[in-house]
Amino acid sequence: MAAKTIIIVEDEKIIAEDIKSTLVRFKYKVPHIISNGEVAIREARQHKPDLILMDIMIEGEINGIEAAKRIYHDLGIPIIFLTAYADEKILKQAAESSPFGYLIKPFEDRELHATIEMAFYKSDMEQKLKRNRNFLLKVIDTVPSNIFVKDKNGRYLMVNTSIAKLYNTTPKEMIGKTDRELLLNSKITDIDLEKIAKEDLEVIKGKKKVLIPEESYSLDDGKKIWFQTTKVPLDSPDIPDVLLGVSNDITPLKNSFTRLQELMEETVNGLILAVEKRDPYTAGHQRRVSMLTNAIGVKMNLDQFQLDGLRIASIVHDIGKLYVPSEILSKPGRLTEAEFALIKTHPQAGFEILSSINFPWPVAKIVLQHHERLDGSGYPNGLKKREIILEAQIIAVADVIEAMASHRPYRPALGMDKAIEEVESHKGVLYNKVIVDTFLDLIKNNEFSFTN
């Protein structure tokens, strides 16, 4: 290994020369002895030694502490102070320049050697840490996700380039600022700052991970971008109460999902239209049943996904009637047994039509089971209780109520009171008790009526 270079900054010539000869004996190179602060800075800049031994009281405008501060700040060269006075005040001032060691004059050769070697070791460690930190920063900078660390006051402590771009700035400019300050010059026009601040505090104070499945920002060009963000509390002795956030742009995913949803709605609308063209009664019935199943589902606290499935299944639940001759569907008066048998094929027919569409919900199965009854007296398969899917049980109740409350081709409306009487008297036998009670609650509180 090449000999390390040390510059001595010391205005007492004899001491300086003495130190130099000791250093040479320890196999260090000592190209310069300097007695002046300004010259020390200049020489350090030019020759970049491995270490500087700096006397605190030296010649020139600036003292050793000031010179050391500048050298370490600009060049990162480790400094060891030499001083004759172990004065508290001076030592405190010296500490501010992050020195790598002190030597109180007079000192032993062994002491000098050990302090220098310790300083090299510390300096090496510091460099290594710095390189590791830079490497880490480079890694997070190449990740396309937005990565950030924020403190409890919402100030950014660390960010990568990706998030800086979103704010139309650089990572360096973002440090120490809050979202509110950064928004002024960004492309973002619409963002819920209060919601973000609340989430951040929940993570930091509540010490818990928070996943925001989707949130949107509007941009000044009218575009909307969607993100999925995870925030986790980070705790370290140096920086307590901070959070780490990772946010991914899910806009393309969101757009294709929206398009898929639209496609599904269009498909369902096509099916409704097919029923409407042939049998306006059934179309209207399906629409009204769908209103009621939705009201019941909401009151039963079904989640949005289940409600969406229930809505689609309700609005096409009688689609199998497309296979039933229209003379039978619109026949006034009583049906013969054969005619009724034909009508009873509609859940199976509906199942077959809907099975060809790959819905994310069991729409075909719901439709197949909407005439089943809890006691097994329904059709087509005589299923009982839990064999019948919940959504089908909801449609069963709504179907009966709508059918009785509305006018039919073969009879005038029986009215809501009769409908209520029917489901209430068969509650727990034919119809699910919870569903019937939910419906009765809706009626009692005036929370539902068929609007057309």
Q: Name the site residues for Fe ion (rule: CB under 5 A).
A: 318
Amino acid of residue 37: G
Burial call 64-85: b when 16+ CB within 10 Å, e when fewer? bbbbbbbbbeeeebbbbbbbee
Minimum gap (Å) between residue 282 Cβ and Fe ion: 8
Minimum gap (Å) between residue 372 Cβ and Fe ion: 11
| C-alpha Rg value of the chain to the nearest Å | 40
- Closer CB to Fe ion, residue 68 or residue 396? 396
Minimum gap (Å) between residue 370 Cβ and Fe ion: 6
Instruction: List the Cα angle 320/324/325 in 5-degree steps.
Output: 150
Q: Three-class SS of residue 349?
A: helix
- Closer CB to Fe ion, residue 50 or residue 318? 318
Minimum gap (Å) between residue 277 Cβ and Fe ion: 18
- Closer CB to Fe ion, residue 279 or residue 318? 318
Nearest to 401 by CA among 285, 305, 238, 313: 285
Q: What share of the chain is helix, strand, coil (3-state, %, to 5)?
A: 55, 15, 30
- Closer CB to Fe ion, residue 242 or residue 400? 400
- Closer CB to Fe ion, residue 23 or residue 313? 313
Minimum gap (Å) between residue 395 Cβ and Fe ion: 8
135 Cβ neighbours under 8 A, 6+ residues apart: none
Minimum gap (Å) between residue 178 Cβ and Fe ion: 58
Q: Count CB neighbours of 251 within 10 A.
A: 15
- Dmax of the chain from CA atoms? 127
- Closer CB to Fe ion, residue 10 or residue 318? 318
- Closer CB to Fe ion, residue 60 or residue 350? 350
358 Cβ neighbours under 8 A, 6+ residues apart: none
Residue closest to Fe ion, measured at CB = 318
Reading the block at residue 21, the tokens are: 């000869």
Reading the block at residue 435, the tokens are: 């569903």
**Residues 199/170, Cβ–Cβ less than 8 Å:** no
**Residues 403/395, Cβ–Cβ less than 8 Å:** no
Reading the block at residue 379, the tokens are: 């059709």
Minimum gap (Å) between residue 354 Cβ and Fe ion: 13
CA quadruple 230, 231, 236, 239: dihedral positive or negative?
A: positive
Minimum gap (Å) between residue 401 Cβ and Fe ion: 13
Strands 210-219 and 188-190: antiparallel
Minimum gap (Å) between residue 281 Cβ and Fe ion: 12
- Closer CB to Fe ion, residue 168 or residue 381? 381
- Closer CB to Fe ion, residue 182 or residue 392? 392
Q: Rounded distance, CA 174 to CA 70, Å?
A: 26
Burial environment of residue 394 by CB neighbours within 10 A (0 to 12, 13 to 18, 19 or more): buried
- Closer CB to Fe ion, residue 179 or residue 318? 318
Minimum gap (Å) between residue 329 Cβ and Fe ion: 11
List alpha helices for 34-108, DSSP H. 37-47, 64-75, 88-95
